[in-house]
Chains A and B, each alone.
Chain A
């Protein structure tokens, strides 16, 4: 059974720092890996989708990498801002199946 783990569970950084969020999964036979952002009491916002044949995706200050063989992904946030404060969730699936989520990393960026 696929399990997704996110470390750390919480992270506090000062504004301007670059940071890395980690995601690991137990079954490397994935189809997609997707990173989401969730603000308190809100739904999930898709940040980046990495398909199994890809190694990384970039969007603005965000860069996500995927290493299927080791069962790991990282989300890199450059020059963090207070508006980046949120919970970041990682999820994976196999073809035709629903995403399985980690518990998330709660990020706090102080000004």
Chain B
């Protein structure tokens, strides 16, 4: 069964360092999402792509976060510099034509 792939699964970094997360969506899914989930909360959207174009990045802290999907397939989310408050689960999802979302296993970030 096709899955959304994410790496790394776990990342521990010190504040002010740079960190990057990678996502490979299900083949054929044109829409890709990055969400952030703080413990005990529901996921919140950071950025939505349609192919290689950004559809919504209104909640992305652009002073330190960046996201790209250069060839409209896999995507990278970067944080530089990381802050203590960035500790969270970073979830990638892709969706079908009828907009059913499928998530990866997530990348757990701990900033010390």
Contacts and interface: CB of A to CB of B under 8 A. Distances in A.
A93 interface: yes
Given A32-B99, A97-B56, A98-B45, A43 B91 contact: yes
B interface secondary structure, majority: strand
B14 to A, nearest CB: 22
A46 B42 contact: no
B68 interface: no
B105 A43 contact: yes
Which bracket fits the contact residues of A?
A: 20 to 34
Contact of A43 (B45, B55, B99, B103): B103
Nearest to B107: A43
A31 B103 contact: no
B98 A99 contact: no
B43 A101 contact: yes
B4 to A, nearest CB: 8
Contacts of A43: 4, 6, 91, 103-106
Contacts of B85: none
Contacts of A45: 103
A89 B68 CA distance: 28
A104 B44 CA distance: 13
A28 interface: no
B42 A103 contact: yes
Contact of A89 (B42, B48, B93): B42
24 contacts: A4-B42, A31-B99, A32-B98, A32-B99, A32-B100, A34-B100, A41-B108, A43-B4, A43-B104, A44-B91, A44-B103, A46-B103, A49-B98, A49-B100, A51-B98, A89-B43, A91-B42, A93-B99, A95-B99, A98-B35, A99-B45, A99-B101, A100-B45, A102-B42
